[in-house]
Structure 1
Amino acid sequence: MLIKKAVLDGIASGDIDLLFRTWDAERVHAGSTQRTAIGVLAVDAVEETDPAELTEEDARRGGYASLDALRHDAETRDGTLYRITLHLAGEDPRIALRAEIPRGRELTALRDRVLHMGDWAVPTLEMIAAQPGVRAPDLAAQAGREKRPFKASVRRLKELGLTESLAVGYRLSPRGKAVLSAVRRATASA
């Protein structure tokens, strides 16, 4: 679920605790979570909603300037309107993971995992290490890959705490630097 920065800021401040989405089918459910730029959001409830029953309170809690603005937004899309109640559940756990330097068995396991992820993993780590802050489309072109699959690959590395997104591009985390160093040592001695 894409959420605009201004809405995320409202959720972080506690001013927004409702989202409204028009979908062909429910795409999130109560109890699910989503990582965002502000941290992990927890979905408390998802309810089908009739646009005619929306209130000024809904508009305020959803970050809309007015009830008319909310209704206009809801009625300009085809599908069912869903009212999603949510809250900020905490920090993205990958942030703390990035700073954790693996040692011993954990480092060996991460090194081996990267080496077995596919022929894209090590070159991607190397490119990011050599070119922090370079745009994803530029890195993808250098790798001879399409942007979307390239970004999906970087997200897999990010899940392990090895990379972090910048305003533009990526960089290796301290954890990523340690793992890349272990990979280099393993491939140099092979």
Structure 2
Amino acid sequence: MLLRRPVLDAIAAGRVTRAYRRWDRARVKPGTRLRTVVGVLEVTAVRTVAAASLTDADAAAAGVADAAALRRELAKRPTGEVFRIDLRPAGEDPRIALRADDDLDDDARAALDARLARMDTTSSYGPWTAATLALIAENPEVRAPDLAQRMGRETQPFKRDVRKLKELGLTESLPVGYRLSPRGRAYLRN
């Protein structure tokens, strides 16, 4: 579920507590945790509502000017049910602490070795993790399309792979490009 940055900031500040989406089926459920640039958000409730029943108060809770504007936004997707999704801040993104943890003992290193080996083994295009980590280490703040081209890859699959490394705390996204996290640098030091 994508939320624009101003909405995320408003949720983090407590000014926005819900979102509305028109979907063919619920895409989230209560308890779903969403990692965002402002931290983790938790979905606390999901229910269908009639678009015609939306009020200005409903719109305000979603950070929208009024009910008419909310209905216009929902009408951009003409089919599906309207879902009301209640959200709350649920803490910091755990990847932040993970990527800062550069104290890799033998067990942590072995676990990373195993995860990266599994990623390489299951890849349809062969091993990629070591080359990608090395490329990012040598080229911080370089645009993803440029890095992907250097590896002879398409941009979107390359970015998906870098996100996998980010999940392990090895890389960080920057306004432009990536860099190795302290954990990633410690891992490459051997």
TM-score computed with the length of structure 1 as normaliser: 0.92
The amino acid across from 2:135 in the alignment is M
Aligned partners of 1:70, 1:145: CA distance in 2, in Å? 40
- Is the alpha carbon distance of 1:104 and 1:167 closer, same or farther for their aligned partners in structure 2, counting shifts above 3 Å? same
User: What is the match of residue 123 of structure 2?
Assistant: none
Shift of 1:179: 0.9
1:100-111 correspondence runs (5 A): 100-101=101-102, 102-111=104-113
Residue in structure 2 matched with residue 81 of structure 1 by the alignment: 82
Offset, 1:109:
2.8
Whether the aligned pair in 1 keeps the contact of 2:12 and 2:38 (CA below 8 Å) is yes
Instruction: Give the AA of the match of 1:106.
Output: A
1:14-53 CA-to-partner distances (Å, cap 9, x unmatched) read 1001101011111001111110111111000011110111
Q: Secondary structure at the match of 1:145?
A: coil
Provide the C-alpha distance between the structure 2 equivalents of 1:51 and 1:116, rounded to a whole number of angstroms: 46
Hey, what's the Cα distance between the residues in 2 that align with 1:52 and 1:128? 50
- Unpaired runs of 5+ residues, structure 1, are 183-190
User: Is the contact between residue 55 and residue 66 of structure 2 (CA under 8 Å) also seen in structure 1?
Assistant: no
Q: Give, in whole Å, the separation in 2 of the partners of 1:41 and 1:174.
A: 25
- Secondary structure of the 2:16 match is coil
> What percentage of residue pairs aligned between the two structures are identical?
52
What RMSD over aligned residues (CA atoms) do the two structures have, in Å? 1.2
**1:104 Cα shift?**
2.3
Partner SS, residue 132 of structure 1: coil
The 1-side partners of 2:71 and 2:7 are apart by: 17
Total equivalences in the alignment: 182
Give the residue type in structure 2 aligned to 1:84: I
Name the counterpart of 1:25.
25
Matched residues in 2 for 1:108 and 1:75: separation? 51
- How far residue 56 of structure 1 moved from its aligned partner, in angstroms, is 1.0
